[in-house]
Amino acid sequence: MSANLSSVLFLITGILFILALRGLSSPETSRMGNFFGITGMILAIVVSILSVDIFFSNLIYFIIALSIGGILGGIIAFKIPMTAMPQLVAGFHSLVGLAAVLVAISAYYSPDSFGLGTFQNIKTASIIEMGLGVSIGAITFTGSIIAFMKLQGLMSGSPITFPGQHYLNALLGILIISLISYLIINQSTQIFWLLIITSLLIGFLIIIPIGGADMPVVISMLNSYSGWAAAGIGFTLENTALIITGALVGSSGAILSYIMCKGMNRSFLNVILGGFGTDSTSSVSSKEKTEHKPVKSGNAEDAAFLMKNASSVIIVPGYGMAVAQAQHALREMVDKLKKNDVKVSYAIHPVAGRMPGHMNVLLAEANVPYDEVFELDNINNDFANTDVAYVIGANDVTNPVAKTDPKSPIFGMPVLDVEKCKSVLFVKRGMSPGYAGVDNELFYRDNTLMLFADAKKMTEDIVKHLD
């Protein structure tokens, strides 16, 4: 296939990918969008096969590699529970990162087959692009593995910090830039591998200080990195499809990171520097307060009574709902309430869950129609006209302190105004503060009834009492 024709076809791949993302502007068009994405990918693979000089018999190796990956990917896609989507996406990011690194190493050792020059005599522009691609790819790889391990519970979700951490990271960052620049003069294998090792190390170091509940930002950020890595390789290989895709994915991840940071009213830098919620003094003082203030607690029967007699209920789900796998029981509860002519809607905070949109997927899985699920901005005014708020597995995102106490670490974070409801039902296992280490003022309000139980068990008990 001529280089011009393949370039045009790669451009079409890029356009199909843009349409794939465009489709996600509404659930109705999204399935069509995914079809465009798949078509674009098939086109890209076919065009690349036709563009390389291959001995036909060698195609079998490619088919074997593709089949192994395809079968593994297929099994994972069908088996994975929806609650595990964050770690799945983190795991997939690590694969993109590793693939980028492998392609770059391969190009470094056989530049002639990529048309980049000869071994250790690669064109200057190409070696810079290659250096950037391999470095970002390596950072994405190790960073995503740490994120995966934290989300999967293979390592503690609490931030790991040590003295001089930021200086070390800054030093390694400078080292990476110096190594890439040095590759222009000296393309020795030692420099190239040192660059890879330093990048792998920094990927690991930048993710360990970030705590579990900041994972939505981390995943989005790694999503962005995987895109920039792809773009870096795209520049090296002079491939339009990779450049366009890298730019799309890179900006997508960056926007999601921005939305997540805004949802927590924290700067990106503040999240990345990590260590949030580890301030021991604040959690100690909140424990003391807890022991003194009175709390009203109730049981499933009280909750069922309140909701059955309400005319409207808003459900506020959070990560705790996902952990307890309570989404199906919740749906059952809502069905019963609707039979009693109670109007029910769902309110989702931007950072509920461990990745952007996590709660929406879980509710969709439990057959909750998406037009009953609302974002913070669209529902926050409705709390004042609502009888009952049912808070299940959420905590910090409902804390009124974020609006009133400038000294609070979560001050300024957009929160759901659940306290404006006539009554608030708060399902929680105990009195412990949320991730931010801040005591939730809502617990002590007169209109709050605490339901101390596992989210799933409590919801199931309420369902029984609704009969």
Q: Which is nearer to other proteins, 80 or 284 (CB)?
A: 80
CA distance 319 to 363: 12
302 binds other proteins (CB under 8 A): no
Cα 68 to Cα 64, 74, 84, 372: the distances in Å are 6, 10, 23, 41
Q: Catalytic residue positions?
A: 396
245 binds other proteins (CB under 8 A): yes
Tokens 């999503």 found at = 223
124 binds other proteins (CB under 8 A): no
49 binds other proteins (CB under 8 A): yes
Q: Which is nearer to other proteins, 226 or 399 (CB)?
A: 226
CA distance 10 to 464: 58
134 binds other proteins (CB under 8 A): no
264 binds other proteins (CB under 8 A): no
* Least distance to other proteins, CB of residue 349, Å: 11
Token reading at 185: 């003069």
Residue closest to 435 by CA, chosen among 200, 237, 220, 159: 159
Token reading at 197: 């090792």
Using alpha carbons only, what angle is made at residue 144 by residues 24 and 110, rounded to the nearest 5 degrees?
A: 95
274 binds other proteins (CB under 8 A): no
Query: Contact, 181 vs 121, CB < 8 A?
Result: no
Q: Which is nearer to other proteins, 67 or 186 (CB)?
A: 67
199 binds other proteins (CB under 8 A): no
CA distance 429 to 17: 44
Contacting other proteins within 333-362 (CB under 8 A): 348, 350, 355-358, 360-361
Token reading at 93: 């990011």
Query: Contact, 226 vs 140, CB < 8 A?
Result: yes
Please say whether the dihedral angle defined by the alpha carbons of residues 19, 20, 21 and 24, taken in this order, is positive or negative.
positive
Question: Binding residue for other proteins (CB under 8 A) from 2, 4, 55, 406?
Answer: 55
Q: Which is nearer to other proteins, 126 or 423 (CB)?
A: 126
Stretch that binds other proteins, among 60-68, 184-192, 308-316, 384-392 (CB under 8 A): 60-68
Site string for other proteins, 3-32 (x = CB under 8 A): -------x--xx--xx-xxx-xxxx--xx-
Question: Binding residue for other proteins (CB under 8 A) from 1, 38, 170, 384?
Answer: 38
65 binds other proteins (CB under 8 A): yes
Number of residues engaging other proteins in binding (CB under 8 A): 117
* Pairing relationship of beta strands 423-428 and 388-392 according to DSSP bridges: parallel
Contacting other proteins within 358-377 (CB under 8 A): 358, 360-361, 364-365, 367, 369-373, 375
251 binds other proteins (CB under 8 A): yes
Site string for other proteins, 159-198 (x = CB under 8 A): ----------------------------------------
Token reading at 157: 């979700």
Q: Which is nearer to other proteins, 13 or 423 (CB)?
A: 13
CA distance 443 to 391: 11
H-run or E-run covering 373: strand 373-375
